[in-house]
């Protein structure tokens, strides 16, 4: 373990093997750092915050402070950050609230770039990429391999599905389904994230089935229940179509619409 002389590390903190803590960083009493975690200079870890093995945190990040909530002070709540994550300069991530799940969770292998904010009770899956300046209100859920363009803003309780992609400066007030692209205010859907699916090894048959399901769900003009029923023949045989249909059926905020904002 390497701790710079100017760092302040509470004796109650648990620090893993070969971890390093840089200049002027502050590590609170309930912090838990895995093996080979690297904190650069001026990092603040507060509250019950856990960093998985090989995670790297860059200067001026503030992780695990109490939620930005008028009444809930986040007593006893947590921030859990997985293994091999990279959190770039000036990111702020709040721990959970007692009025929510009590946990803010960041999955393994996430890339979180500079000047982002992740509020209380958010949950990110694995391999999520958030570009600079993204802002997430409380209780947001992000699926595996989702990509958020720079300065995207996400309303509380919104869900972004797995392998979805948000355009830069998107303002997201409704759920964005898995495998889809969305941009603009609202936002509007703009088809499948086909380039991303190809890069991640989805078969042409799976992409074709998702493309057909997308047309039925978002371009047919049918009501939600009827459109889900129409794609029933593809369900059960293609897991990705099941995930897409189940995500749409479970939406409480409503689903972003094809080509339309607001």
Indicate which residues carry an active-site annotation: 120-121, 138
Give the whole-angstrom CA distance, residue 164 versus residue 155.
16
Give the whole-angstrom CA distance, residue 140 versus residue 156.
6
């Amino acid at each position: 373990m390497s701790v710079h002389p100017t760092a302040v590390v509470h004796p109650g903190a648990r620090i893993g093997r070969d971890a390093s803590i840089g200049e002027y960083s502050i590590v609170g009493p309930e912090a838990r750092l895995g093996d080979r975690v690297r904190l650069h200079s001026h990092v603040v870890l507060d509250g019950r915050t856990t960093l998985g093995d090989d995670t790297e945190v860059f200067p001026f990040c503030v992780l695990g402070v109490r939620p930005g909530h008028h009444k809930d002070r986040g007593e006893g709540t947590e921030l859990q950050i997985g293994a091999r994550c990279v959190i770039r300069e000036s990111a702020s991530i709040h721990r959970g609230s007692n009025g929510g799940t009590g946990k803010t969770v960041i999955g393994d292998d996430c890339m979180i770039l500079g000047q982002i904010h992740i509020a209380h009770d958010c949950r990110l899956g694995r391999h999520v990429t958030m570009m600079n300046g993204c802002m997430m209100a409380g209780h947001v859920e992000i699926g595996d391999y989702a990509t958020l363009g720079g300065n995207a803003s996400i309303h509380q309780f919104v869900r972004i599905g797995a392998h979805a992609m948000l355009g830069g400066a998107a303002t997201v007030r409704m759920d964005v389904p898995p495998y889809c692209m969305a941009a603009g205010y609202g936002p509007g859907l703009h088809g499948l994230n086909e380039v991303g699916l190809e890069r991640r090894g989805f078969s042409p048959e799976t992409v074709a089935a998702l493309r057909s399901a997308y047309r039925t769900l978002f371009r047919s003009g049918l009501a939600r229940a009827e459109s889900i029923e129409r794609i029933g023949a593809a369900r059960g045989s293609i897991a990705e179509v099941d995930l897409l249909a189940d995500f749409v059926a479970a939406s409480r905020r409503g689903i972003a619409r094809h080509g339309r904002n607001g």
